[in-house]
Amino acid sequence: MQYILFIAAGFISGSILYSYMIGKYICNIDITEISDDKNPGAANIIKHAGVKYGIPAIFLDVAKGFVPVYVAAKYLDIESMYFIPVLAAPVLGHATAPLFNWHGGKAIASSFGCLLGLLPDSFIVLALALPLFFFTFFIIIRPDGLRCIISYTLFALYSFFYCPAQGIRYGSILIAVIVIIKHLLVYENTKASFQFGPWQQLKNAHK
């Protein structure tokens, strides 16, 4: 029964689209209408309303994943298979957003929130942060959707082979699957590009 309650709480928490609400009710813009990808996420708040509103949007999108998972981890067995949907529920809530006409987001911030909620019991959030950081600043993959698909695929593979706790292992894989599907649904068939990061730019600057 406890697991069901935490699944429901996490799903409801995740389904509240704070970035969309900040844009709609504070900035008087609809980011799902004016943005290119129609995504109700914090990145579009930063792009169309500025960092001033983007920072609280990111914080809230991360927090809605962090809080339910962090609290659940204190009361439930994170190694249990029943913990799988508990871990992924906020991400699924954000991705589907039933409270907002089923127009959910790509769930990147909320997925980080869920994984951060496992601290200090698990540091698996680093397995997601490192590839995203590497492919953003060192070997830069474009478009952004492809970068996320590759990073979350690597994260899922790492979770499968190296995460010892079953609940976290398969919960992380489920999170990755949800995010990858969301990106594939809106993925534009644009040419992929790979660029070297700062060291190549510094090398070129000294030529």
Q: How many domains does the chain have?
A: 1
Question: Model pTM?
Answer: 0.91
pLDDT at 191: 76
Question: Taking Cα atoms as reference points, which of 176, 178, 179 lies closest to residue 156?
Answer: 176
- The Cα 19–Cα 42 span in angstroms is 5
CB burial string 63-80: b at 16+ within 10 A, e below: bbbbbbbbebbeebebee
- For residue 54, give the amino acid letter: G
pLDDT at 186: 79
**pLDDT over 70 for what percent of the chain?**
93
Please, what is the average pLDDT of the chain?
Answer: 92
Q: In terms of residue numbers, what domain contains 170?
A: 2-205
Contact 180, 149 (CB under 8 A): yes
Question: Taking Cα atoms as reference points, which of 15, 63, 99, 58 lies closest to residue 49?
Answer: 58
Contact 148, 132 (CB under 8 A): yes
Least-confidence region, from 5-14, 20-29, 69-78, 136-145: 136-145
Beta strands in the chain (DSSP E): 139-142, 193-196
Q: For strand 139-142 and strand 193-196, is the pairing parallel, antiparallel, or unpaired?
A: antiparallel
3 state SS of 133: helix
